[in-house]
Structure 1
Amino acid sequence: MTKDFFDTIIVGGGPAGATAAHELAKKGRAVLLVDREGRTKPCGGAIPPRAVRDFDIPPHMLTARIAAARMVSPSNKTVDMEITGTGYVGMVDRDAFDPWLRQRAAEAGATRIAGTFTGATQNADGTVTVQIREKSDGNAVREYKARTLIGADGANSPVRRAVFGANVKPPFVFAYHEIVRSPDTANDNFNPSRCDVIYKGEISPDFYGWIFPHGPATSIGCGSAIKGYDLRAATRRLREQAGLADCETLREEGAPLPLKPLKRWDNGRNVLLAGDAAGIVAPSSGEGIYYAMLGGQLAAEAVDQLLVTGEVKALKSARKRFMKDHGRTFLILRVMQTIWYRNDKRREQFVKMCRDPDVQRLTWESYLNKKLVKREPMAHLRVFGKDLQQLFGLSHR
């Protein structure tokens, strides 16, 4: 029987929440993990090797290993960016990956329930009482008390709204994708070991479209920050252009993606945000799985520090540590998105710039290892110069 008092209640069982639950349960903390279940977030499913290493993801969870990315310009010019050496981009199916993460947390000692967060009340003793509508109890609302609360419940986080107010939210890109059965054979439009990234205004006027193989299935979708933009129609066009219109559709999913970390992740008392709820999805690329898992890990360490010391300032360490290691990367990606995704002329220049060997090498090294490459200052200088040439139309390559 589920007990009523916990060290931590975690709302949201995606990569951020499940990772936080796993890390805290391993430390012997009493953890309640609450997830709605039965819903999969739209996601290309890409994770770098660093995520596999840092979070002990077993090989069987990878449905494919991608060896290259193809950039497609508005005029249909293509640039293949191959990964050299032993590097790869791992692909996961969120429909299987997220439940596996939640199960791993349960095996470490976390208590799991299927339910929906409906509210939280601060108590005079510094604890928090959380109201959960439970599926297993006929949707009855039950209260649980905890020393801390982690909101890892997505871009539209009910925990964030309840604690910080409806006006505290990051900017969003709305994403939609269709999971289809992968073609039996490779062709000019589809390669099971290659991710295609489509920079066409007719597919996305301010973001991009994608074709990401997951082994037996493939994610095809697009995103846009323009309210009312028809993502379904754009995805249909993308499938037709790629010769994938006749592939069997297995499921369809849509959701907002936050593209800027919030300025504050904690309430200064006992609540901390993680993952999409905190806004940590990479601008420009929309990459979120690695950053969500890292955010969950940092949230767990911050909460554990609070539980040990009783000092609420420990909660601030999650954001501080994340921004120290990744804030500069997020800023660069946000500037890149602002400059290069503005219109088709800029997108054409951007894809052209991706032909450059320095751009490709630095891009892959930074992505695979989640660190800006600092050991090649001349390469960065060359890329900066070429970037300016493309921006001002001085390059005729």
Structure 2
Amino acid sequence: MITTAPLPSWGDLFRATRAVAADPVIISPWLKPWDSGFLSPRSSWSLAALAEAVARRHGLPARVLLPGWICNQSLWPLRQTGAEPVFLPVLADGSMDWRAAESLGTLDIVVVVHTFGSPVPMKAARDFANSRNALLVEDAAHLLMPIAGAHDVGDVVLYSPHKLLPAPEGGIVVVRPRAEGLSDEIGAALGRAADAANDWKWLAKRMVQGMIPDRLRPFMPQGGQEDFLSDPPTQPMAPPVSPSEISRRLLATHSLDHEAARRRVNEAALREVIRKTPDLRPLYHADEAIPYRLAMRATSPQAAAKLYDALRAAHLPVETWPDLPPEVAADPRHAEGAVALRRSVLLLPVHGALDPDRLAAAYAKVLK
């Protein structure tokens, strides 16, 4: 069945019975030479830990620069630290408008997001962070693994493999050599959360989803928002939990190269479908990036809403992104960037458990 969430294979089930690897082994595929790192609950808690580490060093709550085009729910842990989020307007393509950053004053952390797995240019970010003596963080939660154009100039890189692999938990904090002096504070801020509960129930649910024939999809319960412009309210998050033994086994044994290849094939299949859809185009050019989702932009909010409704009526997975921070939604400076993107971007799944031919055939029935 076509799903948004990555689904485990029978091979993953077999690997979940193996011995649990040590954290350095688990995180090693995401580290470059001379990097160090930590296994964390999720990337949202990783960012909060960075803010805590910086606050402990400076004795004041951190002031954190973020792109306006960002998910508000994921910032809940950061806000709990007392950090002050500052939202920079983005341009029509989602890149941060560094011209608007010059008047922002003192900043402790600068966050750049590689949205949907597409690396963004980093030189302006590096120059700006240097000018403020700020920690430069690459939010790579949508990146499967280090690729060209990312994980190069940042001081810290945050990965969230549980979003791209069949694992219920797991984030990775990569500390680059230039931030090594902050490593102890980061480790202390992360601490050691209690282990997640037994995830065999999660694994069983995902295995069942993978076995359901796609012809039964119209009869299955449907998640997500009912209408295109509605966002879920921001909710308090449960305390962080360390990845379970099952998560650790799955993260340690899954082939990132295989997953990358499958995602590229599935994205290419869907790109061919939407090439024939007059009101829709890919948000990014096809390149060597590893897609998190196929990100598409409609010609107008009305066209986006119509396509969203049609896909949901067919019980096909489709998502909006993000639930904008209230500070962004209320600020006219973000209208042509973050707000316009929120009202025109649609996301389709491309994870490695999907079959490209079946995926394309299903969406082609709607995206005509």
Q: Report the TM range for the smaller structure's normalisation.
A: under 0.3
Tell which structure's C-alpha radius of gyration is larger. 1
**TM-score normalised by structure 2 residue count:** 0.28
Greater per-residue strand proportion: 1
Structure with higher RCO (Cα < 8 A, 6+ apart): 2
